[in-house]
Amino acid sequence: MSEAGTVTTSQPRPQVVIAIGNSQSMDGDLSGAIMTGSGNLSSGLTSLYKSSSPVNYSVPSGFTPPMTPSQTASAPYTYNNNGTLVDNGASRLNVAKAGLSSVLNKYLPSMDFALEDYSTSGTSLYTTWVYYMSPSGGFTFANSLPTHGFTSYSAYQSFVAANPNASPAPTRWVNNPCYQYGSASSSVKSYCSSIANSGLYGSSASTAASTLSSNLYMQIGASSDDPNINDVLYSSGQPGLFVDYGGAYAAYNYSTYLGPITSTNTPYTYFNLGNYNDGVVSVGYNKSAPSANKVTGPTNAGYVPYTDQVVYAERGFGYYVQSLNATSGNQVVSMTNLGTNPSTSAVNTALTPFTTALKPETNNSSSSEIKALAYQSPTAGLVQGAGNVLSNLIASCAGQYVILVTDGLPTMDLNGKNWPPLGSAAGQGYGVNAAFYGIAGNSNYGINDDSNNLPSGQTQGALDAANTNDQALIDTITAIQALNKKGIKTYVVGLGAGVDANANPAAYAALNAMAIAGGTGQEYPANNVTAFNSALGSIAAQIFSSTAISAPVAPSILQAGSLVYTATSSNTPGSIAGHIQAYQTVAAPTSSASAPIGTPTGPAQWDAGDTTHMSASARQAALLTTTATAYGSGPGSGDIDTLQNVGGNSTSANYNPSSFALSATTCVPNLNTLLAYTFDPSFNSAGDTTNTSALGFPAGVPGCSYLAGRQLNWMLGSLSANDQSHYLGAPSNSNDVSIGGYGTFANSNKGRENLLTFTSNDGFLYAVDAKTGNLVWGWMPQVFLPSLQNFTQFETQQPFDGGYTLTDAVNTASSPQASNWATYVVGTAQGGAYHYALKLSSNTSSSSTAAPAPVAQTWGITVPGGSSPQMQTPLIVNIGGMQYAVFVVNTTTGSGSSAITTSTLYEVNVATGQAASGSTLSAALSMGSNVYVTSALNFDANSKTLWMGDNQGGIWALNLSGTASLDASLLQNYGATSPAAAINYLGYAVVSGVPYVWAASQSQISVFQLSGASSRIVWASSNQTGSKYVNGSLQSVSSNVVMPLQANGQISATPAIIAGVLVVPVYVPPDATSCGLGNGYDDLFDLPSGGLPKLPITFKNMAVTNGVLNLGPGVPLSPSSYASSSGSFFFTGTNASTDSSSGNGNPTGFGAGGINYTVRNPPIAWRQY
């Protein structure tokens, strides 16, 4: 089956408001520490670089420091730009800005965006201090870490979870800011001397001085850097280092003394929730050394320290505001309105205000970049503000959306009242709680038990407002619901530790409830840079992309009454599911006007994704993966075993839990849980019909559902437009018949079970019985296994994006026998970052009906950050009696205007994973500065020539030998299209002995005639005119000579050549002023001349005389051709149809309608007379 249609830039433009919750905590890194301005203190405080204010940080994977992009291992937190300090760290705000910039650069040509943040006033720059809370009795010091002593909070937490009864008890430590203070910078030396004279750390000043100076570590009870605190002190005019002590007390509104804080009298007993709502909670200390601030109140973290002692150590800078708008947001950048096919200059101009707003934060309070400055999170107001932005616009035909980016929960309601975050220590202390329909309670995080309360019509996980007292959350949910009622969907991205499901299940539940209210079903958690970028990219792609998969797939020979298969997907949150359906075809015409043999007819015979055809027990037995035991010498090779054996059966020889790289979390505490929701996606969800106990599944974690928006009791995950399906019948490759052993191999396997294979976003390559639809096997590459634990976002990564092919290959060129042959699956995944070959089992008798099943992975090649042009299937080429997979991987270094993309050619023996000679499998293609392959590859078997097109319209070719380094050195240019434009698809054909190459850009198809090592353009057809080569140049001609493509049309998928006719899929979007799907066409050309086809063609039993097939609404797909006893056919269609899951098939047109499913048009009949 050929590839699905691509999204074109002239479709209706969705309108998207990106709403950033820029509270102060967004200055924190993804683990919680607020590090903005760190490592850039006054000269008297520079000794603090070794403790509270480090200069450098380890750059997390996937993050590029904004001011020092070349520093990928270690980089400074703060960059001094001619006296202006710039945040260069991996703060949540910088991560968000980088991810948003990437999305805007990619999607602004095809989507309209606005940018919004919190509405604030009275911005002031402050100095920040990290604060450390003492253990009971005060701080202690040591020069080396004791047994079970930790400086890392995450290591401490992991140890506690794994060793709840450890002896000695684990303790926490930080670098002592007064270590060796006698030789410290001047101010630190003075402050530490004052602390030594306080009497806290020794019976005399000299003893205290020795204690403070000679010990590297200070024991703490907690730190403001902890994920559940995520805070700093914002102040000015304070010492760079001081300690508060002498007895804590509750202070009403920073002034009125209420009483001492003790083990029984805490801020939570002195103050009630109403006091917190009114903002009068504060805690003071009687003494400080040196003299400093002694009273503090909560920020949006809700936290106020009240331990026996608190040490404050200067860190950097931050912002505070005088007031917040609780009911609206601040429009940072107005909604763009770029219209159809915007020019590059128009897009760049529209990007400018976004680029300015998304620059990293500076210490210049008047600069215009977004700053992390709100002391509370008025999320409901932010959502209402996004609604206001959209309400003032003429709604786009493609819909209106809000992407809400937040690192915490709502903490201010619409009346301006403050609320501590649900599930936090402060939230627990003040009794903040919430309930979610169908979700079990968890009193440790303020979740009320609603496990037995799921009213009819309610969605599991939606907020039960009647049993919730968190008004900030209620107001936010209500505001999101109001947008949803207007047709505005809200996507929710939770960024960082503050909303990590494992650190705070209440945050996870609350953000999910917000997504449910917004009609998108599931929040996107992002506790690392890669996850955030993936979440944003997935959301943007989901908003804009079609869910069509491909034209129907059928056996290469359509027998009378055989089946045709369709692949479709529903991406509606709550009912996300893939559908693989089989339709009967016409067995015999009943009259001269009847549909020909091979025409799909009647309702779907089956759907492979339901529990009847793919049960949890079948999945447990049949889902496979690659083991750690190598198979042969190919890179990334391995034997095959069940997922259950590799991850869940400790007695299996292939048991290898480390291959999953599991980091235990609240919802995924062990591999048995991971395997349970992999086999049964509805595991632990209310309404799951699987008998999980019979399958040995563990008890589910209360409150954890693993559906992530998928349809309840549906086994197959969603399908992307880049997933594929293929029919696997008996071996029948005519290119192999002359090679030894192939005839015997083919005969021995002619009776094998016929399979329908397909890939899915759930990470499996599946095979089902082609007749019954029952699951036979599914395989997941080992490289996907570590991502399974990220169940909320695994499908959004679309791991199997790319094409694959089914091919027969032999593992030796020396007297090959039947036993040397096998059928292989060779494919592209992860968009081209991964390529693989999977060997299937063979039969030794022609009477055997055993199904071909995976027995080994012969190779797997990972290229981090790589992508293959058009995510193309590797080409299979016969060289020297063996078969080679040929593909190109593009990689990019640098970013922005300095980005350089390079193309690398790979030639890998399918069966052995080796090159034809030498050990090098790949070689760079030298095409010129920043010139790289953009087209799908095309191979001519007769001349062994590989054709490709580049981003500048260039056409290139090279001969293949099986050794990439040799072949790449002989790359030759054959001219370029006019006008120059990136080539998306390219092909080679010989008609009447004359060789031709065709090249398709987005809006033009060009055909070249070859003569030796040169070429000349013969004709071209664009969406404006038809052209022919006349008197040395390409000139416009009348439409009856070369037909132009449809006006405003876009070439949406790979053209195909059938019997000398070039079939070009063309999409025409709707008018900018109307709402609709646009329309799909197949334009038909005689390849040599560009005129109308010379063959008689019928479509829907009607003769086609004008060279145009009107396919109906939607983006047209690449056609797939087959033969039957009544002629040759190709199936075609668009990405718009009725709901195929209903089984309501139409024997003539298969329907048309919404954008969620594939149209299945009847085949087009080709007859030779």
Interval 380-411: pLDDT, tens: 999 999 999 999 887 766 788 999 999 889 99
342 and 270 both lie in a single domain: no
The C-alpha atoms of residue 1101 and residue 1104 are separated, in whole angstroms, by 9
Return the closest-CA partner of residue 554 out of 597, 523, 512, 612: 597
The C-alpha atoms of residue 952 and residue 248 are separated, in whole angstroms, by 70
Mean pLDDT within 1046-1058: 90
Of the three residues 522, 544, 566, the one that is the final residue of a domain is 544
Tokens read off for 1014: 């040169």
Return the closest-CA partner of residue 546 out of 1062, 936, 110, 866: 110
Mean pLDDT within 210-235: 94
**pTM to 2 decimals?**
0.71
| 337 in a structural domain | yes
Taking all residues of the chain, what is their mean pLDDT, rounded to a whole number? 89
- 144-153 LR contacts (CB < 8 Å, sep 24+): 144/216, 144/217, 145/173, 145/217, 146/171, 149/173, 149/217, 149/219, 151/175, 151/217, 153/31, 153/223, 153/225, 153/226, 153/227
3-state DSSP assignment of residue 761: coil
Q: What was the pLDDT predicted at 1076?
A: 62
The C-alpha atoms of residue 309 and residue 1024 are separated, in whole angstroms, by 77
3-state helix, strand, coil in the chain (%, to 5): 20, 30, 50
Residue 722 clears pLDDT 80, i.e. is over it: yes
Q: What was the pLDDT predicted at 230?
A: 85
Residue 1069 clears pLDDT 90, i.e. is over it: no
328 and 316 both lie in a single domain: no
pLDDT band at 708; cut points 50, 70, 90:
confident
Q: What is the biggest distance separating any 2 CA atoms in the chain, rounded to whole angstroms?
A: 111
pLDDT band at 681; cut points 50, 70, 90:
very high
DSSP state of 558: E
| 66 in a structural domain | no
DSSP per residue over 667-715, as a string?
S--SHHHHHHHHH-TTTTSTT--S-TGGGTPPPPPTT----TTBPTT--
Give me the sheet containing 938-940, strands edge to edge: 938-940, 945-949, 954-959, 972-976
Residue 1145 clears pLDDT 50, i.e. is over it: no
Q: What was the pLDDT predicted at 398?
A: 72
Mean pLDDT within 1107-1123: 80
| 78 in a structural domain | no
309 and 393 both lie in a single domain: no
Interval 283-306: pLDDT, tens: 999 999 999 999 999 877 788 999
| 376 in a structural domain | yes
| 586 in a structural domain | no
Q: Distance from first CA to last CA of the chain, Å, rounded?
A: 28
The total domain count for the chain is 3
Measuring CA to CA, how many Å separate 488 from each of 524, 545, 705?
A: 18, 17, 26
- Is residue 202 exposed (0-12), middle (13-18) or buried (19+ Cβ within 10 Å)? middle
Q: What was the pLDDT predicted at 372?
A: 97
199 and 305 both lie in a single domain: yes
Q: What was the pLDDT predicted at 723?
A: 86
The CB density around residue 97, as the number of other CB atoms within 10 Å, is: 25
The CB density around residue 980, as the number of other CB atoms within 10 Å, is: 13
Strand bridging mode 1120-1124 / 1127-1131? antiparallel
Helix (H) or strand (E) holding 124: strand 124-133
Tokens read off for 268: 């939570």
Strand bridging mode 765-769 / 775-780? antiparallel
213 and 202 both lie in a single domain: yes
Q: What was the pLDDT predicted at 1154?
A: 21
207 and 220 both lie in a single domain: yes
Q: Which domain holds residue 787?
A: 615-862
634 and 675 both lie in a single domain: yes
| 939 in a structural domain | no
DSSP per residue over 1001-1014, as a string?
-SSEEEEEEEETTE
Measuring CA to CA, how many Å separate 341 from each of 338, 347, 395?
A: 8, 10, 19
Interval 778-803: pLDDT, tens: 999 999 999 999 888 788 788 999 99
Measuring CA to CA, how many Å separate 968 from each of 825, 903, 952, 1067?
A: 26, 11, 19, 35
The C-alpha atoms of residue 331 and residue 349 are separated, in whole angstroms, by 18
Q: What was the pLDDT predicted at 566?
A: 83
Interval 577-605: pLDDT, tens: 999 999 888 777 666 555 666 667 788 89
Interval 914-951: pLDDT, tens: 999 988 999 999 999 999 999 999 999 988 999 999 99
Domain containing 113 — which CATH number? Answer: 3.40.50.410
The C-alpha atoms of residue 196 and residue 212 are separated, in whole angstroms, by 7
3-state DSSP assignment of residue 380: helix
On whether the CB atoms of residues 460 and 342 are closer than 8 A, the answer is no
313 and 373 both lie in a single domain: no
Tokens read off for 649: 């059966």
**Crossing angle (nearest 10°) for helices 505-517 and 471-485:** 30
Measuring CA to CA, how many Å separate 190 from each of 50, 51, 129, 294?
A: 17, 17, 17, 19
Of the three residues 279, 297, 320, the one that is the final residue of a domain is 320
Q: How far is CA 708 from the centre of its chain?
A: 14
On whether the CB atoms of residues 107 and 345 are closer than 8 A, the answer is no
Tokens 């019948």 correspond to what residue?
729
Residue 1169 clears pLDDT 60, i.e. is over it: no
292 and 149 both lie in a single domain: yes
Of the three residues 320, 337, 357, the one that is the final residue of a domain is 320
| 931 in a structural domain | no
244 and 386 both lie in a single domain: no
521 and 668 both lie in a single domain: no
- The one-letter amino acid code at 607 reads D
Tokens 């997935």 correspond to what residue?
538
Q: What was the pLDDT predicted at 667?
A: 84
772 and 747 both lie in a single domain: yes
Mean pLDDT is lowest, of 8-17, 421-430, 757-766, for: 8-17
On whether the CB atoms of residues 917 and 896 are closer than 8 A, the answer is no
| 964 in a structural domain | no
Return the closest-CA partner of residue 390 out of 506, 296, 475, 482: 482
